[in-house]
Amino acid sequence: MKIIVPATSANLGPGFDALGLSLKLYNEIEITPQSFTCISIKGEGSKKNSIKKNNSFVNIFNEIYLSLVGKTDDFKFSFTNNIPFSRGLGSSSSVVIGAIAAAYEMAGFKVDRNTILNKAVFYENHPDNIAPATFGGFTSSIIENSKVYTQKANLSDDIKAVVVIPDKAMSTNDSRNKLPKHYSMKDTVSNLAHAAFLTSCFIKQDYDSLRIASKDMMHENLRMQSLPELFDVRNIAYKNGALMSTLSGSGSTFLNIAYKKDAPNLQKQLAENFKDFRVEILDFDNDGFKIISKS
């Protein structure tokens, strides 16, 4: 079988640990039965032997597969990793969702997306990345009594993502540790209001209001201080047609959303100003993970 899992961008400014969306940048995994376990990696991580020796995808796949069929079997795992590691584009979520969905498929069970999502939350306990990796589109999620509840809205073909990907990785745990333990009521209420308004904008496809809706008071500026160029990314993006410009997850990638007609110029301006960073135009994914070929 072959499964592809999309990149994701989470938080989207004020939607800390709750809001996310899916991008057409995919990790691809092919799995075939064989007499011994074998792992091959192309793209991201291909030069890291540690990933072959202790592969998170394979570990999760084996745990879920064992729970479903009561035994372990050997497979060849062929990875083509296109999502950058530790850049705020959901590479870890793609591993978790892909491994669980693939295990269900290879075990001969129906791949139910709600089941996959709720298995995934035990491996990644924030739904802002795993929900869009599962369902695609824009997602707003909560966890109640250890169960994930998600609402999804499709994203229009009229908008594009212009992502700025620095060459510097950012650890989610390190980044989270820099955040304060307590917030003022003013900042908390501001983020609640903006996250609710931002959700409504995506559902109604009122993209002209994204800039004011995506204002954050809790985490972005603190995280961006470790890579100050990101403040310039945001300023230049807004001067060149961006509808929204936010830190992607915990960074270091910056997500810019623009209308399709404005995306090429925005990409050009950002690329000219940040020659050491990757700047790419990506479509939005409305499907989530896909099983291309059946087992």
Which positions make up the binding site for ATP? 84-94
Residue 233: CB atoms within 10 Å: 24
Percentage helix, strand, coil, to 5, in the chain? 40, 25, 35
Specify whether the CB–CB gap between 195 and 17 falls below 8 A. Answer: no
Q: Which of 144, 93, 58, 32 is nearest to 288 (CA)?
A: 93
Residue 43 phi, psi (nearest 5): 85, -140
Q: On the CB side of 182, how many CA atoms lie within 13 Å of its CA?
A: 2
The residues, any chain, with a CB within 8 Å of residue 108's CB and separated by 6 or more, are: 69, 295
**Which residues belong to the annotated binding site?**
84-94
HSE at residue 292, side-chain half, CA atoms within 13 A, is: 12
Beta-carbon contacts of residue 262 (< 8 Å; ≥ 6 apart): 240, 241, 242
Sole residue written with tokens 């969702």: 97
- Token code pair at residue 10: 């989470």
Do residues 151 and 263 make contact, with C-beta atoms less than 8 angstroms apart? no
Q: What are phi and psi of 107, to 5 degrees?
A: -85, -5
